[in-house]
Chain A
Amino acid sequence: MSMPSAERRLSVAVDIGGTFTDVTLQDAQSGEAWCAKTPSVPADPSSAFVEGMRLALALAGAPTSAIAQVLHGTTVATNLILEGKGALTALVTTAGFRHVLDIGRQDIPRRANLYAWRKPRRPVPASRIFEVTERVGPGGRVITPLDEASVAEAAEALQALGVQAVAVCLLHGFANPTHEQRVAELLRAALPGVAVTASVDVLPVVREYERSLVAILNAGVMPAVSTYVARLAERLVEAGVTAPLLLMQSNGGVAGTATIRRAPAVTALSGPAAGVVGAREVAAAVGMRDLITVDIGGTSADICLIKDGRIGLTSSGRIGEWPLPLPMVDMVTVGAGGGSIARITDAALSVGPASAGADPGPACYGRGGRFATVTDAHVVLGHLPPALLGGAMRLDVAAAAAAILREVAEPLGMELHAAARGILAIANSNMVGAMRVVSVERGHDPRDFVLVPFGGAGPLHGTALAEMLGIATVLIPPSPGVLCAQGLLAADLKAEFHRTLPQAGPPDAAAADAMVAVLRDEAMAWFGQEQVAEAARRLEPVALMRYEGQGGELAIPWTGSATAALTDFASAHQALYGFAMDAPVELVTLRVEATGVMPASVTQTLVAAPMPEPEEIRLVHFAAATLATPVLDRTKLGAGARFDGPAIVTQLDATTLVPPGWRVEVHPSGAMLLHLRTSEVP
């Protein structure tokens, strides 16, 4: 993030989708933005990347040299992990522990049925797990020195198998990484061209099963992400772009290519993270900082709470079947989206988590889908226009009605519209359950928050979810379907540095300060590597503390005072769990959160315009009554426009449903604010 002397400083955000690559160019000073769209090139995504950038620069009339930074979110790692299509990967582990993945945590999951459950197939079978002779004990003490001959043997076997990636995870490697690092070094030398990940490079924390998994997932995506990032960087140089390339991470921050190539697994959940950052940014432009965001797509909904403009992080996330304890935006995902299937089994009605997917998709897509889905319910009730994507896609209302009648209404003896409303009520209720988990469970009252629904289906559900939670304000972003670009443009550079204490114990200020100093040094080195200007560097030390013996820690800001930390811990425990105890408290881990603050992006303002005439008047089946409802084109709404529900607002990437009892106000930032008029709640 060096400061160029050029007058104009442009940020470019590139979002590569399955069909189109969207490029947004923004002037950091004026907030002015230009968007370009070009067909994606799956065989070489970087060519669309560069082409889109060229188009956007042409729109802005700016030279390549005006680009100050290139921001990008990639789903390469995400897709490889979810589809199990990463490189052929092996694991090297401590002798005696070859079955670390097979055994895992030895449980049948709490919600599973022991008679029906099947253990998910591990990402690396034991036939590709090799043991080396060495042993590090608790606290990092070497018990058996590393036998390098055993590493050579493993290397030979790995070569014979033709693996493309190797993860190294040795017992207690988080406390003393020397063996792990030496094994990785020997393997890199013996196996040129093979991606090698040492677990400590990605996740230096206790618990060997989870750490092994992360190292494996990281190693498995490393070749593809590395190639991808290298080619992108190359293309940018060819195109004359000298600005740094920054990639989105699951923690909601961006990082440079060196970080990403070493630990590509940190991008695994970056897509949803970018959306959350975008939602925060859109709300900030309206002056709102306490938000519950819900990103509703085809198969799932991702829910996140933002308090005082801060996005919470967690280290107990999951991806697919696997725990992925890397720092990531604290989201709860539920299997409820537009494609979620409503069905009846043994007299019980359920919606999701099974999804009709994109092909054949919901019955209304007219591609032969026979399932009744959430989208079909919207179609039947009149929430969706008869065509989507600006007319590119027609919706088959009769097919949607037939599917809901056959699959839900008739078996339950319900009327069509009641059944459709029932499907939506269940999907909404599943999402509300998750919203309670992120709010109430963490000591927040959802009524104090603004709901920000986004994703293609978000604005259809926003008001219903708000009513169920007692939320009075809903904010619809200007482009609810493409918030990722906004997120990229707004994201800061972020990294976390942590150390688990050799032995947990009462907080000792001197020892803690010494460790924090080491972590600060690591963070400063990282700032240097990422070229973060002095003035933009922020460091926040955090102490992870618990009552002696507890399993979960609370993150308490570390100010250098043990007394203050203990007091803060007790009040946090009381607030979160409803009790505090007169019991010993121990400090487990210290963490330094490093942020390279990006210049705040100025949002472009919307001008006022006369209230447009409705595009059409349609019948919409609300719970209370069927009402003639105006359909408005969002692009024709100017700043300050106000109108009352019922109304439907359409735009290219989403449709907003405004039921009776809600009032819409168009903010100069382009966001739509929906207010519940409490006296008129239907």
Chain B
Amino acid sequence: MKVCDPVTLEIIRGAIRATQAEMEALLERTAISAFIREKKDFYTALFDADGVMAVGSNVPMFGDICGPVFKHFSIETIQPGDLYWYNDCYGSEGAVSHSNDQVFLAPVFHAGTRCAFVMGWAHFADIGGIRPGSISPDATDIFQEGIIIPPTKLVDRGVTNTAALEIFYRNSRYPATCRGDTRALMASVDLGVRRMVEVADRFSSDMLADALAQLLARTENLVRQKLRETFPVGTHRFTDAIDSDGHGTGPLHIRFALTRTADDRFIFDASETDDQAVGPVNYIMNRDVPGTAFALYFLGGDPSQVCNAGGARAFDDVILREGSLLRPRFPAPLGMRGMTMMRVLATLNGLINVAGTPAPAAHAAYVILFIRGQAGGKPFLFSDGLGVGYGARPDADGIDSVYFVAQENYPVEFLELGYPVLLNTYAVHRDSGGPGEFRGGCGVVREFTILADHGILAIRIDSVVNPPWGTAGGMSGGMPRAVVNPGQPNEQVLKPLSDGNKLHYGDILRIETGGGGGRGHPFDRLPAAVLQDVLEGYVSVKAAQRDYGVVIREQQVDAAATFSLRQQRPASREFHRTVYVDAIS
């Protein structure tokens, strides 16, 4: 076994990053669906010879990707030129968490020895199911969410199982798109394999193996050390909730308990989380997820560190309960699991906060919508993802108007060229950021005029009842809503998680997304910062006075009025969700 020195380690890490960048560029340029090429809903990763993720993406939602394949195909039987494929959420214990996401995984061999695996992953626009887009709030079991692909050997030593692909394409409402995206993803993984062979050629597979082992150990050690610094011995608890499953149940609570034992073992327990839901908000939380998310938080902005399975290894045990929202029983539906996943991340922030280390306030869950219908006699499927506000941080405001890592919006001009809608406005959602010394990020407003003959809208919004909490005196984020024909006699506020909403030519659909929670007392925010927010359309004059105690007249701070108003500083408590409270529940 060769030992990789620090210089070679950095060089190998750089080569892997460059490989990821190349794979991503190929996918972005050649994929067909707007979901992949414009929204960029895809990721790549590299695993060691045993299938342990050594270099992932900066997204805290990946679980053990290779394990499910090895259960079906023993690792010794894997050959050069093979390609494995699946989207089976239950079969992978949540490594994939809704069926639209396709995983392609290929081994890398060097001089006859397996030395790595390469993954390409992308969200496919339609794989069958109850409605176009395969995701619907109406779904009550996973069979309504499209075709399920168990771990499958798609390419056997260079020979593609075209029959499997044809069955897959035949199950999509948009087979040509599906075919093009599959080809692009396969080409991307192929490229990744070639590049990794070159790396092994350059450094030997022993050296590569040691480099990957070191990257894993480095992240694991860092996360363990930070866990010790963050959590005193004992059990730390935090509870957050999603509003509803869209089928009459809610709120649904996520309850986490993190225990550090006297001998420095770390145990993550999610078993007190509420029971699974009828609607598609269940989220199979892979055991690796809490550790990966903590790792990402602890690694912070240091570009020389990598997010990998080392974070997950820092936990000695992860306890989940069969039948709960985070470990549902087959075949509960999962399509809208994103809102639960985003709340899981906020609950982890909460754990850090209650343990005494300042961490971000809660963020809103990105909003998604689908419109399917007929325009000019032809069917169309329009899906859109809208940005929200993220939580205020101990040293900075929350991020305004972003969706999630890596995923982009559809530019207005692009959208109008491709779909039967016209945008009336696309703007920052004023006053949606939770007030605080550090303000929560603001969501967005996106308003469409419908130009289709008719359409059916599915929408997913969360945190209407339980907005993202603020902390340390900061207040909760503003509430989202979706409304048809606002201000007109036929105005209709939509159910936040609903399908089957009918739209007609000329209807106006307005969506206002939620903001993140604030941090620190809003009366401690510099008046100049509040003024700037007002001038830039993030905070209204009214809210500046009401929430921040800053009086603004004719685009100037009225210093005297502000001073006297700020004398009457409202008392605050540890958390805020609509009102100040000692704990979020």
Contact = CB atoms under 8 A, between A and B. Distances in A.
Interface of A: 96-100, 102-103, 105-119, 125-127, 137-139, 143, 171-172, 174, 206-209, 345-351, 412, 414, 421-422, 425-426, 429-430, 433, 436-437, 441, 503, 547-552, 573, 577-579, 581, 583
B305 A346 contact: yes
Contacts of B10: 348-351, 426, 429
A639 B297 CA distance: 60
13 contacts: A103-B426, A106-B401, A110-B405, A117-B301, A137-B416, A206-B411, A346-B218, A349-B7, A422-B5, A422-B6, A425-B7, A426-B7, A547-B30
A137 B301 contact: no
Contacts of B422: 137, 143
Contacts of A578: 187, 190-191
Nearest to A500: B417
Contact of B405 (A112, A436, A550): A112
A473 B411 CA distance: 46
A414 B416 CA distance: 60
B408 A138 contact: no
Contact of A96 (B22, B222, B427): B427
Contact of B413 (A106, A207, A412, A549): A207
A208 B413 contact: yes
B424 interface: yes
A114 B391 CA distance: 11
B404 A108 contact: yes
Contacts of A174: 413
Interface in B280-297: 296-297
B301 A345 contact: no
Interface in B21-56: 21-22, 24-26, 28-34, 37-38, 40
A-B interface, 10 closest residue pairs, ranked by CB to CB distance from nearest: A551-B37, A552-B29, A116-B301, A96-B425, A422-B7, A549-B32, A127-B535, A110-B406, A106-B387, A126-B536
Contacts of A426: 7, 10-11, 14
Contacts of A109: 405-406
B428 A106 contact: no
B390 A114 contact: yes
Contacts of B191: 578
B409 interface: yes
Contacts of B404: 107-108, 114
Given A103-B409, A209-B411, A138 B417 contact: yes
Interface stretch (B86-94, B127-135, B173-181, B561-569): B173-181
A437 B21 contact: yes
A143 B412 CA distance: 15
A368 to B, nearest CB: 26
B239 interface: no
Contact of B218 (A125, A139, A208, A347): A347
A113 B411 contact: no
Interface in B371-425: 386-387, 390, 393, 396, 399-409, 411-414, 416-417, 422-425
Contacts of A111: 58, 303
B406 A108 contact: yes
Interface of B: 5-11, 14-15, 17-18, 21-22, 24-26, 28-34, 37-38, 40, 57-58, 176-177, 179-180, 183-184, 186-187, 190-191, 218, 221-222, 296-297, 299-305, 360, 386-387, 390, 393, 396, 399-409, 411-414, 416-417, 422-428, 444, 447, 532, 535-537
A551 B17 CA distance: 23
A107 B58 contact: no
B399 A118 contact: yes
Nearest to B426: A97
Contacts of A429: 10-11, 14-15
Contact of B22 (A115, A209, A441, A549): A441
A294 B37 CA distance: 31
A325 to B, nearest CB: 12
Nearest to B359: A115
B180 A583 contact: yes
A551 B28 contact: yes
A312 B42 CA distance: 28
A109 B34 CA distance: 18
B338 to A, nearest CB: 15
A211 B15 CA distance: 33
Contacts of B25: 441
Nearest to B444: A103
Contact of A106 (B14, B31, B402): B402
B11 A108 contact: no
Contact of B31 (A99, A126, A421, A551): A551
A441 B33 CA distance: 23
Contacts of B416: 137-138, 172
Given A345-B302, A550-B30, A551-B31, A103 B11 contact: no
Contact of A581 (B17, B183, B409, B535): B183
A436 B390 CA distance: 37
Given A109-B406, A579-B187, 17 more contacts: A96-B425, A103-B426, A103-B428, A108-B406, A110-B57, A172-B413, A206-B411, A206-B414, A433-B18, A441-B25, A548-B176, A549-B32, A551-B28, A578-B187, A579-B30, A579-B183, A581-B179
Contacts of A107: 40, 402-409
B180 A115 contact: no
Nearest to B411: A207
Contacts of A126: 428, 535-537
A114 B428 contact: no
B146 to A, nearest CB: 20
Nearest to B425: A96
Contact of A115 (B186, B297, B402): B297
A577 B29 contact: yes
Nearest to B555: A127
A119 B433 CA distance: 15
Contacts of A577: 26, 29-30, 184, 187
Contacts of B402: 106-108, 119
A550 B14 contact: no
B537 A549 contact: no
A106 B399 CA distance: 10
A113 B390 CA distance: 13
A429 B8 CA distance: 10
B405 A206 contact: no
Contacts of A172: 413, 416
Contacts of B300: 113, 115-116
Nearest to A207: B411
A328 B491 CA distance: 50
Contacts of B296: 113-115
Given A107-B408, A126-B537, A433 B15 contact: yes
Given A108-B405, A125-B536, A126-B537, A118 B396 contact: yes
B426 A549 contact: no
A109 B177 CA distance: 26
B412 A97 contact: yes
B532 A110 contact: no
A589 to B, nearest CB: 13
A138 B26 CA distance: 28
B63 to A, nearest CB: 18
Most buried by A among B17, B297, B305, B427: B427
Contacts of B401: 99, 102-103, 106
A411 to B, nearest CB: 9
A550 B177 CA distance: 10
A532 B26 CA distance: 40
Contact of B28 (A105, A108, A503, A552): A552
B37 to A, nearest CB: 3
Most buried by A among B7, B37, B428, B444: B7
B413 A102 contact: no
A495 to B, nearest CB: 24
Contacts of B411: 105, 206-209
Contacts of A209: 411
Given A113-B299, A433-B15, A350 B304 contact: yes
